[in-house]
Amino acid sequence: MVALADVPLVSTVHDELIVEVAEKESEAMADRVAEAMRAGFAGMVPEDLIGVAVRRAASWGGEKLFPS
pLDDT for residue 68? 53
* Contact assessment for residue 18 and residue 10, using Cβ atoms and an 8 Å cutoff: yes
- Give the bridge partners for 9, in sequence order: 19
pLDDT for residue 66? 61
Domain boundaries, the chain: 1-68
18-31 pLDDT, tens digit per residue, is 888 888 988 999 99
Q: Is the per-residue pLDDT at 33 higher than 70? A: yes
* Contact assessment for residue 23 and residue 66, using Cβ atoms and an 8 Å cutoff: yes
Query: Would you say the pTM of this structure is higher than 0.85?
Result: no
Between the two ends of the chain, the Cα-to-Cα distance in Å is: 25
35-56 pLDDT, tens digit per residue, is 988 888 888 888 888 888 888 8
